[in-house]
């Protein structure tokens, strides 16, 4: 799959799942696990789209020596609001990447 196509699919997938995220925290955590959005974007791409993003340049551009611009993993959140913030951050980064191309 072409890089841009995968980025577009990931963006749509994260947007779709953020919109469908349950408000109840336990249900939200379970939902993220079932949808493969509980960890990083590389794992999501591998599990949902069978694409290997590990060591991908465009993903690595958002990782620095102080940590990752991708933020907290949704599965490590303590509240539903933190899950939403983590998913929204992924959406924002993907939109920024796609806009810049």
What is the Cα–Cα distance from 25 to 38, expressed in whole angstroms?
13
- Residue 68 or residue 16, greater confidence: 16
Q: What is the DSSP string of 58-87?
A: HHHTTEETTEETT-S-GGG-SSHHHHHHHH
What is the Cα–Cα distance from 9 to 47, expressed in whole angstroms?
13
Number of domains in the chain: 1
CA atoms within 13 A on the CB side of 11: 15
| pLDDT at residue number 101 | 76
Query: What digits encode the pLDDT tens for the residues 11-62?
Result: 999 999 999 999 999 999 999 999 999 999 999 999 999 999 988 888 888 7
What is the Cα–Cα distance from 40 to 57, expressed in whole angstroms?
15
Range of the domain at 28: 3-100
| pLDDT at residue number 55 | 83
| pLDDT at residue number 61 | 82
CB 42 within 8 A of CB 53: yes
Q: Is the pTM of this model over 0.75?
A: yes
- Residue 68 or residue 7, greater confidence: 7
């Amino acid at each position: 799959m072409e890089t841009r196509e995968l980025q577009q699919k990931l963006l749509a997938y994260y947007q779709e799942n953020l919109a469908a995220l349950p408000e109840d925290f336990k249900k939200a955590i379970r939902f993220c696990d079932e949808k493969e959005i509980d960890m990083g974007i590389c794992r999501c791409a591998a599990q949902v789209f069978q694409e290997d993003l590990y060591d991908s340049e465009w993903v690595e551009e958002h990782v620095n020596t102080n940590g990752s611009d991708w933020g907290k993993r949704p599965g490590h959140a303590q509240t539903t609001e933190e899950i939403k913030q983590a998913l929204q951050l992924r959406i924002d980064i993907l939109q920024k990447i796609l806009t810049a191309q």
